[in-house]
């Protein structure tokens, strides 16, 4: 597998291992277990499942941040998935982690916590092996002071042996799905071998110590949608060190309507970019991205208001160490050239991660998008009978961040829109 390289320089104190959970597994649609963490820790949940599910996780009842999905489309039961969730700055003590899957699956999962983590790097690229191999290799490069977190999954009939770094957990379910969680204080090569051919997934994450100036994700909002409404709202818990919030809204607002307005608590957000990608005469579809610097901390209500009745979906993501925003980049396709794939390339530098929002006009049940290639934070289905799925994602800064996406299989082609915004340190 290719090397994962993150372009960040770390500074500050040293990341320290805190605790590992007991793990949980089974052929189930949900799991729960207890995790005892020190106050202020970062908690990561890792899981491997033998179905192409998008999972959701809560920690003490608070939604965790979906971080990454590694998919292997060659698994015996379809797509094998390894996925990460995280939550920053937890309260000390024992909390319940609840994991919900999209369908009954063979799944194995566990949690691990770390201290002195300021931010974490983007898990990009997320590597999925082609399957049918008796070995797997994951090489992670990083800068001094960063800790490498690695979650590796396997599906098949070969019992794996895991090597590289410090193994914190290895577990399985039904003798066919495996998960390994490891970490290392620096650049590391993780390897695995198996007694028979397996299908492999690898997800790497760089943990940056407290004091690191690099941009990182803080938290995600709880999401809202509605058909024929004039307002909607959701909650978002913003950390004290968060410096920016971005909101994506997809709606049926018409060009003649007054613009959508968004507030975090009582503070108004600024519209960064808007794309009208379906322009009547019967249906209208618009994607809009809003921003706010120096947001209020704590649990806030994000409120979206329109001048007339519309259908809409929205959610928010907060970030640390963002001082401003680069020039937004848009891409869209309308009915004249509807397609089955989505693409967006945003100019950026190594220190400028990119936030992106995607939408399309599906009214088919299921995920709004499939097989996304970087970090997914929101992947809503749709507003019943209306459509309006929303996906909020981000990617590690580079000399241009390219996003690719696959639309739902039915219908074969769809109208879509995408907006990307560089985050400035």
Q: Which of 4-13, 30-39, 142-151 has the highest mean pLDDT?
A: 30-39
pLDDT digits (tens, 9 = 90+) for 200-256: 888 888 899 998 888 988 988 988 888 889 999 999 999 999 999 999 999 988 888
Sign of the dihedral defined by the CA atoms of residues 288, 298, 115, 292, in that order: positive
* pLDDT attached to residue 405: 66
Structural domain spans, the chain: 4-209, 216-424
- Phi and psi at residue 336, in whole multiples of 5°? -70, -20
Q: What is the pLDDT of residues 98-141, one digit of tens each?
A: 999 878 999 999 999 999 999 887 775 566 666 688 999 888 88
Closest CA to 333 of 425, 394, 405: 405
CA distance 12 to 116: 9
- The DSSP output letter for 258 is P
Tokens standing for residue 32: 């729960």
Cα distance between residue 193 and residue 162, in whole Å: 7
pLDDT digits (tens, 9 = 90+) for 308-349: 899 889 999 999 999 999 999 999 887 655 666 778 889 998
Task: Please tell me the predicted confidence (pLDDT) of residue 9.
Answer: 44
Instruction: Read off the pLDDT of residues 67-78 as tens digits, 9 standing for 90 and up.
Output: 877 777 666 666
Confidence of residue 420 (pLDDT cuts 50, 70, 90): very high
pLDDT tens digits for 167-184?
Answer: 999 999 988 899 999 999
Higher per-residue pLDDT: 263 or 395: 263
């Amino acid at each position: 597998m290719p090397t994962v390289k993150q372009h960040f320089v770390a500074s500050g104190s040293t990341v320290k291992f805190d605790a590992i959970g007991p793990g949980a597994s089974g052929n189930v649609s949900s799991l729960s277990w207890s995790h005892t963490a020190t106050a202020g820790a970062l908690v990561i949940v890792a899981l491997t499942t033998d179905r192409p599910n998008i999972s959701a996780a809560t920690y003490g009842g608070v939604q965790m941040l979906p971080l990454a999905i590694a998919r292997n489309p060659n698994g015996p039961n379809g797509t094998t998935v390894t996925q990460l969730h995280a939550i920053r700055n937890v309260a000390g003590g024992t909390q319940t982690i609840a994991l919900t899957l999209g369908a009954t699956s063979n799944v194995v999962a566990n949690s691990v916590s770390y201290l002195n983590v300021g931010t974490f790097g983007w898990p990009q690229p997320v590597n999925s092996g082609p399957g049918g191999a008796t070995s797997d290799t994951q090489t992670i490069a990083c800068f001094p002071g960063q800790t490498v977190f690695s979650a590796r999954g396997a599906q098949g009939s070969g019992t794996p042996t895991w090597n590289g770094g410090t193994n914190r957990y290895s577990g399985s379910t039904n003798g066919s799905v495996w998960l390994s969680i490891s970490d290392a204080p620096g650049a590391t090569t993780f390897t695995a071998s198996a007694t028979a051919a397996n299908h492999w997934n690898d997800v790497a994450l760089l943990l940056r110590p407290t004091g690191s100036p690099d941009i990182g994700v803080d938290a995600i909002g709880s999401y809202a949608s509605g058909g024929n409404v004039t307002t909607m709202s959701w909650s978002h818990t913003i950390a004290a060190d968060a410096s920016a919030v971005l909101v994506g809204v997809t709606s049926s607002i018409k060009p003649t309507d007054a613009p959508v307005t968004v507030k975090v608590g009582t503070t108004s957000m600024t519209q960064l970019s808007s794309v009208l990608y379906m322009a009547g005469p019967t249906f209208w579809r618009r994607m809009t991205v809003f921003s706010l610097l120096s947001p209020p901390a704590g649990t806030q209500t994000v409120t979206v208001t329109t001048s007339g009745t519309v259908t809409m979906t929205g959610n928010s993501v907060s970030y640390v160490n963002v001082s401003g925003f680069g020039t937004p980049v848009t891409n869209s396709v309308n009915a004249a050239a509807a397609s089955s794939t989505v693409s967006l390339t945003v100019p950026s530098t190594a220190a400028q991660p990119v936030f992106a929002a995607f939408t399309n006009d599906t009214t088919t049940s299921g995920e709004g998008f499939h097989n996304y290639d970087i970090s997914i934070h929101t992947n809503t289905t749709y507003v019943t009978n209306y459509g309006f799925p929303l996906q909020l994602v981000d990617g590690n800064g580079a000399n241009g961040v390219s996003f690719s996406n696959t639309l739902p299989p039915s219908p074969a082609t769809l109208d879509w829109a995408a907006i990307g915004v560089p985050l400035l340190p």
